Amino acid sequence: MTKNVTFTGGCPVPLSNQDHVTLAHGGGGRMMHNLLERIVIPAFGNQPLESRHDGAVIKVGQGRLAFTTDSYVVHPLFFPGGDIGTLAVTGTVNDLAMCGARPLCLSAGFILEEGLPLATLERVVASMARTAKAANVNIVTGDTKVVDRGKGDGIYVNTAGIGVVEHDLVIAPTSVRPGDAILLSGDVGRHGVAIMAVREGLQFETTIETDCAPLAAPVLDLLAAGIEVHCLRDLTRGGLATTLIEIAESSRLHIGIGERDIAVEENVRGACEILGLDPLYLANEGRFVAFVPAAQAERALQILRAHPVAANATRIGTVSESPACLVTLQSRIGTRRILDMHSGEQLPRIC
Amino acid sequence: MKFVDEYRDQDKSERIAKTIAAVTTRPWSIMEVCGGQTHSIVRYGIDDLLPQKITLLHGPGCPVCVTPLELIDKALFIAARTEVIFCSFGDMLRVPGSGGDLFSVKAKGGDVRIVYSPLDALKLARDNPQRQVVFFAVGFETTAPANAMAVFQAHSEKITNFSILVSHVLVPPAMEALLSAPDNRTQGFLAAGHVCTVMGFEEYFPLAQKYHVPIVVTGFEPLDILQGILMCVAQLEQGRAEVENQYARSVQREGNRPAQALMAKVFRVVARKWRGIGEIPNSGFALREEFAAFDAETRFGVGDYHVEEDSECISGQVLRGVRKPRECPAFGTRCTPERPLGATMVSSEGACAAYYQYRRHAERSESGT
């Protein structure tokens, strides 16, 4: 950087005043990250929370349990390929799976808005039951509250889940090692575009469906086969890019990936081109990355591909020592660039 | 994907880059006018493929970046009114005005909505006759036809609860302002392909001749930009200053005549303020008298509101291609996309935001620390 430049401080705009929560704080990007780091984590500070994982792994007697919670405020409640009920179950099951745990049981808390048709609640609950059965978990406890009309968005769902850890591995960013292979379980961006299409009334030639699916089965198979899994993360808000950046920053290593190795369905790519969105930052609900030793990568891919939910698993990159804390992407034209965390949600561009 | 993948081909990109290197004998500074091109250049690392002698300057063609502070303030004022549904393209929501941004107006209860077309805002007006629907009509010649159409339709249908807050700017007067500035460094232009799709490129002939500067109408994909640079460098090396069209698959010499006719019917050319640059004569649009009823500034009584911007801000120099984002000491420290000091840090098309997104660590990783 040029050192002898004097900056007058004169600037056409003052600092953006952020003394209120804005939607960008919930976008899974840098702003949400800062909110947690500044307000939430210091207040609750403890060892499991310090791991900044999607769930906490807690020692209980001789064994270990995984514990996680998540709230679902999706709008609209129903969208192509799923609804708030399927999300509420798969999201929590997947958070447990990413701890390398076998999901045991879930809780369900409902915040219902006065005036919600009972048929809507029935439909959501039926989806939850169906998804829980498919994921082999029971919903064993719960809570229901009703708020005044106008103070909710129909229905909000919170689920918490407990799983049992049946291995000795520490599955966390701190276990990632230089040389590890990075495996991605399938194409990215479908959930984000599916939701945006319904929410904004966008119509494409074909309906784009969410990828929402429970991921415990392929993960447990990897572990059962003795794959030395170093880190797992499902790709939710913020997408593949944000997930990898978090892991690079926590592990203080470099993650190098290739744009060509990352599958994006044709219709999702089309929607992204039109709206000026980057599929690497779009939400997913049925995709994950696994960091495994390079020597086991091929075997791990074979195991993953045996599951329909990970049938298109591929290796997208490798971990190395430097440049530390960064994710770099080799573009389609062969150049390399840095992937950085977005502030909030992606905003469609003007032109 | 058809019409996309063939323009992102690695072998062809490298081949054009080699040809550029082969024909370049002297240092040249070329400005890409449009923010979409800047975004592509930084996203694909196109400048990494170029010989050192070629410097790319990032132009003023980001509509978010050049929208003046007072227009943002007017938007914030109107959006906060309870009877208003304020509609905007997504990336305007994060641009800070004097008292927050549209996101913070929304957080405090304002009805602010992201739309993808002004016609969606017009539909909202039809569906909500008891509310006032205002569309933030920002952009260059590219977005002007759709905005003109929305006003034209509202006028034909006698819709009284729809208005637009106009902040339209025009490319050729800005290029002339840059060329006539004493600190101008630009020796050749990549003109904005989508602006030319609407306007054609006849208006660039006098500029090329008067300032003896090559102007190549250029697209947005990596191969488009590389080819545009090659055509521009070839002209510079040969001492030519012509208008050429790289983006022929989209741009015709006369442009889109029906769109131009509609724009001329609804808008008139006026002087406009550009953030960081100042007022440029004949550089924007305002609504014609016949459509004045759809002017949100009049409807909400904000026409006389003025805020002075500090002419010392480096974002103005970035927009004019005089300095690079990294030459600002606030870059990446006091000024980030979360807390932007200037508008060029806000939109993904803004040069500072593009550098922040893709280049922030470049020096660190180059030096291996």
- What's the pLDDT score for residue A350? 57
Domain definitions of chain A by residue range: 55-165, 173-339
Q: How far is B75 from chain A (nearest CA, A)?
A: 15
Asked if residue B121 has pLDDT above 90, the reply is yes
Q: How far is B42 from chain A (nearest CA, A)?
A: 8
Q: Compute the Cα dihedral for B112, B114, B117, B119 and give only its sign.
A: negative
A207-228: average pLDDT: 95
**Is B92 near chain A, with CB under 8 Å?**
yes
Inter-chain touch B338–A20, beta carbons under 8 Å: no
Task: Give the least confident one: A36-40, A212-216, B208-212, B218-222.
Answer: A36-40
> What are the structure tokens assigned to A345, written together?
């949600």
Q: Which one of A5, A14, A23 has the shortest CB-CB distance to B327?
A: A5
Nearest CA in chain A to B140: A351
Inter-chain touch B101–A16, beta carbons under 8 Å: yes
Inter-chain touch B13–A331, beta carbons under 8 Å: no
Inter-chain touch A348–B114, beta carbons under 8 Å: yes
Distance between start and end Cα atoms, chain A: 31
**Is A130 near chain B, with CB under 8 Å?**
no
Q: Which one of A13, A30, A328 has the shortest CB-CB distance to B338?
A: A30
- What's the pLDDT score for residue B364? 44
pLDDT, tens digit, 9 for 90 and up, residues B237-278: 999 999 999 999 999 999 999 999 999 999 999 999 888 778
Inter-chain touch B339–A18, beta carbons under 8 Å: yes
Task: Give the least confident one: A252-256, A299-303, B95-99, B337-341.
Answer: B337-341
CATH of domain A173-339: 3.90.650.10
Closest by Cα among B72, B64, B67, B69 to B35: B64
Asked if residue A16 has pLDDT above 60, the reply is no
User: Strand, coil or helix: what is A333?
Assistant: coil
Inter-chain touch A7–B275, beta carbons under 8 Å: no
Q: Which one of B341, B347, B358 has the shortest CB-CB distance to A13?
A: B341
User: Strand, coil or helix: what is A150?
Assistant: coil
Inter-chain touch A332–B348, beta carbons under 8 Å: no
CATH of domain B1-357: 3.40.50.11740
B307-330: average pLDDT: 75
B126-149: average pLDDT: 96
Q: Which one of A326, A343, A350 has the shortest CB-CB distance to B361?
A: A326
CATH of domain A55-165: 3.30.1330.10
Confidence of residue A17 (pLDDT cuts 50, 70, 90): very low
- What's the pLDDT score for residue A100? 95
- What's the pLDDT score for residue B356? 83
Q: Which one of A16, A328, A335 has the shortest CB-CB distance to B100?
A: A16
**Is B278 near chain A, with CB under 8 Å?**
no
**Is A43 near chain B, with CB under 8 Å?**
no
**Is A25 near chain B, with CB under 8 Å?**
no
B355-362: average pLDDT: 70
User: Strand, coil or helix: what is A72?
Assistant: strand
A13-40: average pLDDT: 71
Residues 69-108 of A with CB under 8 A from B: none
Q: What would you report as the CA-atom Rg of chain A, rounded to the nearest whole angstrom?
A: 21
CB contacts of B56 in chain A (<8 Å) are: none
Q: Are A212 and A191 in contact (CB under 8 A)?
A: yes
- What's the pLDDT score for residue B101? 87
Asked if residue A271 has pLDDT above 50, the reply is yes
B321: left (phi over 0), alpha (psi -120 to 50) or beta: left
- What's the pLDDT score for residue B368? 34
Asked if residue A332 has pLDDT above 50, the reply is yes
Q: How far is CA B275 from the centre of its chain?
A: 12
List of residues 6+ apart from A192 with CB closer than 8 A:
A239, A277, A279, A282, A283, A284
pLDDT, tens digit, 9 for 90 and up, residues A132-144: 999 999 999 999 9
Asked if residue B45 has pLDDT above 50, the reply is yes
B39-51: average pLDDT: 90
- What's the pLDDT score for residue A344? 64
Asked if residue B1 has pLDDT above 90, the reply is no
- What's the pLDDT score for residue A237? 86
Nearest CA in chain B to A30: B338
Domain definitions of chain B by residue range: 1-357
Q: Which one of A8, A347, A351 has the shortest CB-CB distance to B93?
A: A347
Distance between start and end Cα atoms, chain B: 39
Tell me the C-alpha distance between A91 and B293, whole Å.
Answer: 50
Which alpha helices (DSSP H) does chain A contain, by range? 30-35, 41-44, 47-50, 84-98, 118-134, 190-200, 216-224, 239-251, 266-275, 297-305
- What's the pLDDT score for residue A12? 31
Q: At what angle do helices B222-238 and B35-44 cross, to 10 degrees?
A: 100
Q: At what angle do helices A190-200 and A266-275 cross, to 10 degrees?
A: 60
Percentage of residues of chain B with pLDDT beyond 70: 94
CB contacts of B9 in chain A (<8 Å) are: 332-333
Residues 270-309 of A with CB under 8 A from B: 270, 273, 275-276
- What's the pLDDT score for residue B169? 95
- What's the pLDDT score for residue B363? 47
A205-218: average pLDDT: 91
Nearest CA in chain A to B192: A351
pLDDT, tens digit, 9 for 90 and up, residues A77-130: 999 999 999 999 999 999 999 999 999 999 999 999 999 999 999 999 999 999
- What's the pLDDT score for residue A1? 30
Tell me the C-alpha distance between A93 and A106, whole Å.
Answer: 8
Confidence of residue B340 (pLDDT cuts 50, 70, 90): confident
Q: Compute the Cα dihedral for A94, A54, A27, A252 and give only its sign.
A: negative
Inter-chain touch A348–B63, beta carbons under 8 Å: no
- What's the pLDDT score for residue B360? 64
Nearest CA in chain A to B330: A7
List of residues 6+ apart from B193 with CB closer than 8 A:
B34, B37, B217, B218, B219, B220, B224, B246, B247, B250, B251
Q: Are B262 and B278 in contact (CB under 8 A)?
A: no
**Is B97 near chain A, with CB under 8 Å?**
yes
**Is A338 near chain B, with CB under 8 Å?**
yes
Inter-chain touch B108–A20, beta carbons under 8 Å: yes
List of residues 6+ apart from B263 with CB closer than 8 A:
B141, B144, B145, B148, B285
Asked if residue A3 has pLDDT above 70, the reply is no
| Mean pLDDT (chain A, rounded) | 88
Q: Are B85 and B59 in contact (CB under 8 A)?
A: no
pLDDT, tens digit, 9 for 90 and up, residues B284-314: 999 999 999 999 999 999 988 888 765 445 7
Tell me the C-alpha distance between A284 and A326, whole Å.
Answer: 22
Tell me the C-alpha distance between B46 and A203, whole Å.
Answer: 33
A32-41: average pLDDT: 85
User: Strand, coil or helix: what is A158?
Assistant: strand
Instruction: Indicate if ipTM > 0.85.
Output: no
Nearest CA in chain B to A31: B338
> What are the structure tokens assigned to B230, written together?
């090659």
Inter-chain touch B92–A350, beta carbons under 8 Å: yes
- What's the pLDDT score for residue A242? 92
**Is A62 near chain B, with CB under 8 Å?**
no
Neighbours of A294 (CB within 10 A): 14
Confidence of residue B366 (pLDDT cuts 50, 70, 90): very low
Task: Give the least confident one: A150-154, A326-330, B204-208.
Answer: A150-154
Percentage of residues of chain A with pLDDT beyond 70: 92
CB contacts of A336 in chain B (<8 Å) are: 45, 48
Asked if residue B2 has pLDDT above 90, the reply is no
Residues 304-323 of B with CB under 8 A from A: 309-316, 323
Confidence of residue A4 (pLDDT cuts 50, 70, 90): very low
The 8-class DSSP code of residue A174 comes to G
B204-220: average pLDDT: 97
The 8-class DSSP code of residue A6 comes to P
